[in-house]
Structure formats: structure tokens, C-alpha cells
Structure 1
Amino acid sequence: MMSRLGTMKSGVHLFMLPIGPQLLQWESEAFLFKLPHEDRLRILRYKHWQDRQRALLGTVLVRWMIREFADIQHAIIARNAMGRPYLANQDSWQGDFNLSHSGEWIVAALTHQGHIGVDVEKIECLNEDVMAYAMSEGEINRINQYSKIDRSKLFYELWTMKEAIYKTGLFPNATPKSLDTVELKSKRKDIFTQSLYVDQQHPITICWDREQSSVKQTILNRNELV
């Protein structure tokens, strides 16, 4: 493990990994070899190499993160009734993890205490119908104060925040419109979020529910996961 990561085994972590060019066959096989049989089968079902690579690198990233920063060497990852992943063989662990990918990036987050959610999105043209479905009245009013380009950016910034908050698992019955980020941020002092751009086209938001110091951010390359 690289020295720049050696002092980070506490608090909240955000790891960002570019999908990059297509893996060579031997590279794919090396990553697949490290994974449980059921994960290999799931990943190999994807027809397009981009989807297969996102699934492969995302799975490897999560397991690497849990091994290196939660000190859990043999993680059994299951999903609850809502489809949210968790560690099935670690009842004593108080932490949480989450994964997201979009466009050119895969991101993963981990906390040693409480719940965590993360989301990354690639900025596209703003779809008014999607905005009407997903955003509350207060959020729409806020978005409409900006120019066309800035409206798209703000929409995706708010969308990543909604997704990150929802993915903590703390609001299982929420709908996109009901999860009002403006109202939630003002009323819930036990919910913390941090937003950033990994590049000009990809906003990220991370959300957690235990007060911590600042989020430790690391951009990885896939060779570090081998």
C-alpha cells in the first residue's frame, strides 16, 4: 500500500478511480481472480466492455477499501431488502461503505462509524421533465435563478446530494421530490454532506451521519488495487 494512504485508517474516506481505457485480458483476469465466484459470474454477464469494466473495478475497489481501511480481510458482502450492500459477517463492525459510478469515474466511500452514502454523476443537458419529477419546489426555484449552463451544473450537484443522502439508508421511504435537500440541510443537524468536483464534468457528494473531521479524499489508479 502506498505511503500516502498509510495514515488514513480512521474517519470518513472518499476514493475516486477513473475507469480508464479497456483492460487487457490479463489485467481483467488478474482482477477477477481475486473475487468470489458469484461476483465473477455477475460481472461477466455484462455484454459491453464499459459496463463490465465499471462493475469489475467497482467491486475490486470496494473490497480493497474494506480490506485496507476497515482491516477486514475476508468480507462477505450481502444486500438487505432495499438492495443496499452491507458486510454480512461483521456484526461488531460499526462502519459502513457505499459505491457509485457514472461517466468516467467510479467512487467509493467508507466510514468507521455510522452510515454513509456517495454519488457521482456526469453532467448532461438538463431535462426539464426529469427536473420536475426529481426536484422539490424549493430546489426548482433555486435552479431557475441561474443561466442555462449553471442550471445544469446545479441540477446535477443537487441530484448527487439527493442520491448520497438516500443511499445512506436513513430515508428508505423517500422519493426524489420528497427528499428536499434545502429543507433537510436546514432541519437535520445530524446529517453531514460534502460536495466536490473530481473534474469539470463529474460532481460528487458524500453524506454521513456521525460528526467527523473533514473527508479524506484520494484519487487512485487501478494499479494500486492489484
Structure 2
Amino acid sequence: MQLVATIIPEMPHNLFLSKLEMHLHQDEVKRVREISNIVQAQRSGIGSLLVAHIVSGISGLPMRGISMHRYLNGKPFLPDFPNLHYNISHTHNMVVVAVGNHTMGVDIEAISTARMAIAKRFFSKSEFEMLKNSENEDRDFLFFELWTARESFAKAIGTGIFASISHFIPEKVNDRWQVNDETTGVWTIQHYHYGDNFIIALCVAKEKEIPKTIETLTIEQLWE
């Protein structure tokens, strides 16, 4: 499994779209063009660019030949590569992509002040008490560990975050979190620190596939 991140460049949107046309499948460019919010469009486009770059490296096909579709629930898939799975997450100017042979979910967040109202609504009573009793910096980090664990799991099984986030409780096993789901089995969640204040959670069913590190690509490498 590959876990790759990049920084979204600052450039005029028309130039950004013209760059995408040179590197992405025409259907994917069309999808990005239809996103009215420029920030969201560029996040989505860079995510697709990362996926195309990785799959091109695996398959030998040109990036423009990599077709990407989405199920009705929004979960993405590669119609020409049924044995490859991918998942994308973005926040602020960062995008992270996971590509591998088994389904997975990935989430990236910028660590900020713990959102205790959200924790009280969606987390378990024991988790909320643990947050309340933590020091400020520890509380902030723990909140985003728990939040990204939930979101990466929800993305792995293909449900909306708010539809499932309160229906399971991650448990800490050694240095990783786990979710034991009645329907889909045991999932392992690995966290990574990235940059100055980002946290990434990767949720997988096959623990042996967890990469040790995150690869970073520059936008220049993706445009090559």
C-alpha cells in the first residue's frame, strides 16, 4: 500500500484546469470543472492527480488513461483495476491519498482546539471524560486522534461520517487504534504526524499492509 501526500499549489484556476487536462482522464477533468467552489475543485483535482500518478506507476499506463468512477455512496473506485482500491482526504492546502490491494479509508486534519461539543455529542462517555481530564495540548491531539480514527473507518466501510460515527468505539491496542465491527470485522487504524500540525489516520483491514511512512510528492513531480 502507498500513502502519498502533496501540497495544493497557489495558481490561477484556469491555469490549474489546463494543467489537469494534460494529465488526467477527460471525464475526471470534466467532473472537476463542474465543481463551482474553486478551493474544493482544486483539492479534488489534486487528489485525482495523485491517484493517477500512483496507478500509472503501478500499471505503466499514462495518467490520462486512468479512469476513476464513484459508487452511489460516493466511495471511489478504478473500473479498469478491480484489484486496486484508493481513498482521498484533504484539508486546508494538503491532500493525502492511499492506494492498495484492499479497501481502506484515510483522513487528514489540522490539529487545533479540541471541539468538546462535538465530542460530547458523538464520542462515548468514557472518551469524553478522558478528553475532559486531559491537559490542553494532550486534549487537542487526543480529540483529533479519535475524530480521524472514526472518519477513516467510516470512509473505509463506505458510510457517511455522521451516519456511523457514534455507532462504534475505537479501542487503543498497543500504539494503534482498532475497531471491531459486527458486519465487516476488525479494522486497524494507524496515525501519522505530518508537517507542523497535521494528523493522518489510515484505516485498513489488513494490518500487514500499513506503510511505515508517508511519501511526499511536489506538484512539479505530479506535473511531469
TM-score, normalised via structure 1 length: 0.80
Q: Does residue 79 of the first structure (1) align with residue 63 of the second (2)?
A: no
- 1:96 aligns to what? 85
Percent same amino acid among aligned pairs? 20
Q: Deviations over 1:91-116 (max 9, x none)?
A: 4x2x311000012310000112x211
Of 39, 43, 53, the match for 2:32: 43
Q: What secondary structure sits across from 1:88 in the alignment?
A: coil
Aligned length: 212
Cα separation, 2, equivalents of 1:123 and 1:211 = 25
Task: Name the residue aligned to 2:217.
Answer: 220
Give yes or no for the alignment of 1:122 onto 2:110. yes
Change (3 A) 1:45 1:81: closer
Contact residue 138 and residue 182 of structure 1 kept, 8 A: no
Task: Give the corresponding residue for 2:121.
Answer: 133
Q: Aligned residue for 1:195?
A: 191
Q: From the superposition, tell whether residues 77 and 196 of structure 1 become closer, same or farther in structure 2 (CA, over 3 Å).
A: same
Separation in structure 2 between the aligned mates of residue 118 and residue 127 of structure 1, nearest angstrom: 20
1:207 CA displacement: 1.2
CA shift digits 1:14-69 (9 cap, x unpaired):
10111233358545412233223332233234445433321221111111122213
Long gaps (5+) in structure 1: 1-11
Q: Matches of 1:181 and 1:163 in 2, distance apart?
A: 11
Check 1:150–1:22 CA distance in 2 against 1; reply closer, same or farther (3 A cut).
Answer: farther
The TM-score normalised by the length of structure 2 is 0.81
- The one of 143, 152, 166 aligned to 2:154: 166
Contact 1:15 1:219 in 2 (8 A): yes
Per-residue deviation, 1:157: 1.5
Q: Which ranges of structure 2 fall in alignment gaps of 5 or more residues?
A: none
What RMSD over aligned residues (CA atoms) do the two structures have, in Å? 2.7
Letter in structure 2 aligned against 1:146: S
Aligned partner (choices 96, 100, 105) of residue 111 of structure 1: 100
Matched, 1:151 2:147: no
- Identify which of 201, 206, 209 aligns with 1:210: 206
- Pick one of 11, 18, 35 that aligns with 2:7: 18
Separation (CA, whole Å) in 1 of partners of 2:139 and 2:168: 19
2:178 alignment partner AA: K
Q: Tell me which moved more, 186-195 or 133-142.
A: 186-195
